[in-house]
Amino acid sequence: MSEPNSEQHEQTPDEVFATAVLFETVLAVAAIALGWTLGPSAREYMPQWNPEDLLPIFRGIWQGALAAVPMLVAVELIRRIPWQPIRELEQLSDDQMIGALVRLRVPELLVISLCAGVGEELLFRGWLMGWLRDGLSSLELPLDPVWIALVLSSIVFGFFHPITKMYIFLAAIMGCYFGVLLVWSENLLVPIMAHAVYDAVQLVITKRQVESKSATESSLDSSGA
């Protein structure tokens, strides 16, 4: 009974793509709306569009792209740790959501990654981190409110990715990294690009691994037949 039902509700690649893009777009719109109603606006961290001086925009793009490299290296090293929670990360392609995403074409994965970078960074770093900072500034705290807001927003970011406990923890660490990038650069384009490039590389790698595994299994089945 459950098998036909699951097949009936399985999304097509076009539906998966549309759903992912729509979801990340909603996050971006929510960030803008929250900034407008509650403050602060994420625009304070975005470089101004000036055709005569595009350097801040280009700087944010290339710095963000380079900032993705340490994350990619760190995750690759973490994957080599012989620990069961880490091993579970290797099975993420079996997750329904991840499995649906890797069925998409590479250009579609790149679009989704860019949308995720824009939507999630606008919400968590552009708005939430600043909102927490402003709220904490009125309190007499032993630490700089900026860093407390960075950690708190990163924890929320981690729980926003509830795939496994380890994935939540790693997402929170990455959230801290994105937050540090924003504090350092004061340019939201930097964490946006770092996020987008990281997601794009990981999704494409996962897609290639799944396709290679499927091809190997098909070859073994054919040989066995």
Domains in the chain: how many in total?
1
Assigned token pair, 9: 């509700």
pLDDT at 9 over 70: no
**Residue 3 falls inside a structural domain:** no
**Residue 101 falls inside a structural domain:** yes
**Residue 48 falls inside a structural domain:** no
Kindly tell me the burial class for residue 117, based on how many C-beta atoms sit within 10 Å of its own C-beta (0-12, 13-18, 19 or more): buried
**Residue 140 falls inside a structural domain:** yes
**Residue 27 falls inside a structural domain:** yes
**Residue 86 falls inside a structural domain:** yes
Q: Domain range spanning residue 25?
A: 13-40+56-209
- Alpha-carbon span 71 to 83, nearest angstrom: 20
**Residue 219 falls inside a structural domain:** no
Instruction: Tell me the pLDDT tens digit for each residue of 105-148.
Output: 999 999 999 999 999 999 999 999 999 999 999 888 888 999 99
Instruction: Tell me the pLDDT tens digit for each residue of 40-90.
Output: 999 889 998 888 888 999 999 999 999 999 999 999 999 899 999 888 887
Cα 140–chain centre separation? 33
**Residue 1 falls inside a structural domain:** no
Regarding predicted confidence, which is higher, 80 or 94?
80
